[in-house]
Homo-oligomer: A and B are copies of this chain.
Amino acid sequence: MSAPAIEARLCVRYAETDAMGYVYHGNYFVWFEVGRSEFYRAMVGDDPGSFFRVYGMPAVEASARYHAPCRYDDPIVVITRLEELRSRTVSFAYEVRRDTDGALLATGRTVHVCVDGGGKPCRIPEGVRLALAAGRAESV
């Protein structure tokens, strides 16, 4: 059994393009967030908002490789997989594809650490950790 790949769909906003005519590279990190939110929603329950009003999951690392550009109004799918789950951190891997032809536009990875309401690193709450664990590859 391989790790669940959760898909989130969006359409390129004009605001996300830049003067080269394509999406600004920094905005892919926002799309990774859209994918990650969908992952939390699928795994943890239908309301990542309530979790994120108590805890934070700030990024400690983020990276992307850009393979092909995309333009205003292109339909996009963000495919998110949980890569590694530890007691306090979780990392995700992303693929961004054009949803018409499946062309790979970008890949990326982010690592997040759980913090409590006061901003202190803490263990990921057990219920959330178990729910996320269901999204891990079998080898874990």
- Interface residues in A33-50 by Cβ distance below 8 A to B read 33-34, 37, 47-49
A75 to chain B, nearest CB (A): 10
A88 at the interface (CB under 8 A from B): no
Shortest Cβ gap from A112 to chain B (Å): 9
Asked if B73 and A37 make an inter-chain contact with CB atoms under 8 angstroms apart, the answer reads yes
* A37-B73, A73-B37, A73-B48 as given contacts; A58 in contact with B22, CB under 8 Å: yes
A54-95 contacts to B, CB under 8 A, are 56, 58-66, 69, 71-74
The one of B13, B29, B119 in contact with A25, judged by C-beta atoms closer than 8 angstroms, is: B29
Pick from B13, B21, B56, B61: contact of A33, CB below 8 A: B13
A33 to B14, CA, bound (A): 8
Chain A 17-33 interface 0/1 with B at a Cβ cutoff of 8 Å (1 = within): 11111101111011001
Q: Beyond A15-B30, A18-B19: 17 further Cβ-contacts under 8 Å? A: A13-B33, A13-B37, A15-B18, A15-B24, A15-B33, A19-B21, A20-B56, A20-B58, A25-B62, A25-B110, A49-B74, A53-B71, A53-B72, A60-B66, A61-B63, A62-B64, A69-B119
For the complex of A and B, list the 4 residue pairs with the smallest distance between their C-beta atoms, beginning with the closest: A49-B73, A63-B63, A26-B29, A17-B19
